[in-house]
């Protein structure tokens, strides 16, 4: 399962001779992930719902719509993600977001590319990141979703709409709330620029899918502004019933 990940570092021009995760020296001087780290970053391609990413059954099972998405489909067509939000993937994301591990940005971008290509992603007209409010951006110093989207847009040779979607309210962090509270907290918190998104099929990018509340609100905002359809890409997907804050 981890073979598609092995050459990600080489594809993105990461430092030769060392694993970009654990920095162990590669005997052949290659730019690939070492086998141990690659084995901890499995690319999930089966046993999942292609709309919401819910994981069930065996990994070798083909993607199949879950009952919830059959009855109430999300406002996007397909969800792409690299793997479950656990283990090394979780550590990489948290280190990048909160511990200034900016050396991991190209690797995380490569994981997003791998997830998109493994599922035969439809190339969009443009790529849109989930935005941060200006105050949150000033506190954190960067938007991790924008940086992941930047790598995808470059790889796909598509425009990156940095201002296609903006955050109009500085909402409390979603980690404080349950599902219904998250939905209420995020409602009306975004605005889309019709001049940028109208008539385009978009790829909406974020780092982690938890309950889907933020992505749902972003997607509906973009659709109201006139985009013709969209897919969503995240690096990681939590369990259906999240038990931890992110």
- The residue ranges of every structural domain in the chain are 1-42, 46-237
Residue 172, pLDDT above cutoff 60: no
* pTM of the predicted protein model: 0.83
Mean pLDDT of the 31-39 span: 80
Q: What is the pLDDT of residues 43-61, one digit of tens each?
A: 999 999 999 999 987 888 9
Show the DSSP H helices in the chain as ranges. 3-6, 8-11, 35-39, 67-71, 87-98, 105-118, 134-140, 144-156, 179-186, 194-197, 213-224
Residue 180, pLDDT above cutoff 70: no
Q: How far is CA 245 from the centre of its chain?
A: 17
Question: Do the Cβ atoms of 43 and 4 come closer than 8 Å?
Answer: yes
CATH fold label, 46-237: Rossmann fold (3.40.50)
Residue 6's pLDDT is what?
45
Q: What is the pLDDT of residues 213-225, one digit of tens each?
A: 899 999 999 999 9
């Amino acid at each position: 399962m981890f073979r598609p990940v092995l050459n990600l570092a080489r594809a993105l021009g990461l430092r030769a001779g060392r694993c970009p995760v654990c920095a162990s020296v590669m005997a052949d001087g290659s730019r690939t992930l070492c086998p141990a780290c690659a084995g901890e970053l499995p690319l999930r391609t089966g046993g999942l719902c292609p709309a919401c990413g819910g994981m069930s059954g065996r990994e070798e099972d083909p993607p199949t719509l879950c009952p919830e998405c059959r009855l109430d489909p999300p406002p996007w067509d397909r969800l792409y993600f690299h793997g479950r939000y656990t283990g090394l993937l979780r550590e990489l994301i948290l280190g990048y977001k909160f511990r200034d591990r900016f050396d991991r940005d190209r690797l995380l971008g490569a994981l997003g590319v791998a997830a998109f290509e493994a599922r035969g992603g439809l190339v969009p007209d443009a790529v849109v990141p989930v935005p941060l409010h200006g105050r949150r951006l000033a506190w954190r110093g960067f938007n991790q979703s924008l940086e992941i989207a930047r790598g995808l847009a470059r790889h796909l040779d598509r425009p990156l709409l940095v201002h296609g979607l903006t955050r109009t309210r500085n909402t409390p962090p979603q980690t404080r709330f349950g599902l219904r509270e998250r939905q209420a907290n995020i409602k009306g918190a975004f605005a889309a620029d019709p001049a940028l998104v109208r008539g385009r099929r978009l790829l909406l990018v974020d780092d982690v899918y938890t309950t889907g509340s933020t992505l749902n609100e972003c997607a509906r905002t973009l659709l109201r502004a006139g985009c013709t359809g969209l897919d969503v890409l995240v690096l990681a997907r939590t369990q259906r019933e999240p038990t931890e804050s992110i």
